[in-house]
Structure 1
């Protein structure tokens, strides 16, 4: 495994850990300024919208638990992509639990400081029955 592949795997692992602990600041540090997210049924959105919906100002955030497994990775210069299989359980502050599973296709960009950051994400998670 190359150094770039290891770095990208670390970004994915850190993203998951920070999401599970509610550490929005760390998640934001892992994305580019011009990041774009695509999810079913919504218009693509960027960093500002992600941050606005990451949690309520009173600290009431959903609890996230699950796995994020990289099933494919390609590094092409300063760009890379991963195809991941994600399986999540999300519990709202009110106690309602939703399970989602599926795949994502994520583009990473190596920034001027040498860090890999998430630049584009197509999230195809669906409710799990």
Structure 2
């Protein structure tokens, strides 16, 4: 496994653990300033600030736990993509029934000037599990 692949796997794990811990600042540090998040039926969410508002609002009343099964990592110079199977459980802090979502994701990462990989674009096809 290459150093780049190891760093990208570490980024994915840090993203999941920081989200579960409610550590929005760490999650934001893992993404490019111009990051874009795409999901079906919604306009793209663009930029750290937009993501921070959405995640902070979600974490106010919920805890998010995720499991990512990395299917593929391809590195080409300073760009890489990661394809995963993702399962997300959103549990209300107020006793409501947990929401389960799972599906495929495709993320594009960029090595930035400081040498760190950061998420640049993300598309997920998660669906609610009945």
Structure 1 gap segments, 5+ residues each: none
* Pairwise CA RMSD: 1.5
Q: TM-score, normalised by structure 1?
A: 0.93
Number of the residue aligned with 1:108: 109
| CA gap 1:29/1:116 in 2 versus in 1, 3 angstroms | same
| CA gap 1:116/1:61 in 2 versus in 1, 3 angstroms | farther
Q: 1-side partners of 2:95 and 2:80: how far apart?
A: 37
Number of the residue aligned with 2:11: 11
Residue 61 of structure 1: how far off its partner (Å): 4.1
Provide the secondary structure at the position in 1 that maps to 2:19: helix
Q: How big is each residue's C-alpha offset from its partner over 1:48-73, in whole Å with a ceiling of 9 and x where there is no partner?
A: 211111124xx724211231111011
Structure 2 gap segments, 5+ residues each: none
Residues matched between the structures, number: 128
Q: 2-side partners of 1:17 and 1:67: how far apart?
A: 10
Q: 2-side partners of 1:36 and 1:14: how far apart?
A: 19
Asked if the contact 1:54/1:61 (under 8 Å) is kept, the reply is no
Question: Which deviates the most, 66-75 or 110-119?
Answer: 66-75
Q: How big is each residue's C-alpha offset from its partner over 1:80-124, in whole Å with a ceiling of 9 and x where there is no partner?
A: 001000111101233321000001000000001000000000011
Within a 5 Å distance, the mapping from 1:1-129 to structure 2 comes to: 1-46=1-46, 47-56=48-57, 60-96=60-96, 97-129=98-130
Q: TM-score, normalised by structure 2?
A: 0.93
